[in-house]
A = this chain, B = another copy of it.
């Protein structure tokens, strides 16, 4: 049965997150219901990464098997038509090998965290950015971020609910850049721990507003202790940007 790779954008606000939940709507459920309306049966949609409740995606990747002879374009059109009015859109569909797996074949994941550094409350971007009113020192944040790049035990930045086998992960990129009123954190890694980026961003914000020095980030990492976490950033500003495949 032909397998398709889907590139998906969504607004995370109305959802309990990517993964199917008994207690509320999820992105996966909306996609599987849209697929069922086209294919019949109970199609399964496998995602590259699970995003939390309220976390957004610009380029989430998933795969699904399609029992009907549909072109990639027709499949994405049919899914988008049935996804309405949910804020989920198929940006691209492409046929892939029958053994392609969105999660297990993914070799790189990229996230972005957007901070709006201003005093005024958010209006047009409410729920899609984290507003921090105290002026942030992005240079100090970048210095702190540099301590986390590479292979480390990220226990400090790991949710108690994390299901990963090991707390050791390799951050290939962690950059902080100011863009006017915005401070943007970009993170790349083969894979991440649950809450890893929100935990890191929360601590970067503490460095940015002066409560921590850049070296305190190193100490927090080295302590390998969740209690050393400064702050967990809200889901609002987090975006799943990209998944890479060999």
Contact = CB atoms under 8 A, between A and B. Distances in A.
Contacts of A126: 11, 87
Interface stretch (A97-105, A116-124, A152-160, A207-215): A116-124
B87 A120 contact: no
Interface string A169-213: 000000000000000000000000000000000000000000000
A90 B120 contact: yes
A26 interface: no
Contacts of A58: 124
A208 B117 CA distance: 37
Q: How many copies of this protein are present in the complex?
A: 2
Interface in A120-172: 120-124, 126, 128
A65 B70 CA distance: 64
B56 A124 contact: yes
A229 interface: no
Interface residues of A, number: 22
A11 B123 CA distance: 6
A88 B56 contact: no
Contacts of A84: 121
A228 interface: no
A9 B89 contact: no
A10 interface: yes
A210 to B, nearest CB: 21
Interface in A49-98: 56, 58, 76, 80, 83-84, 87-91
Given A56-B124, A89-B123, A91-B118, 14 more contacts: A9-B123, A10-B124, A11-B124, A58-B124, A76-B120, A80-B120, A83-B121, A84-B121, A87-B124, A88-B123, A89-B120, A89-B121, A91-B120, A124-B128
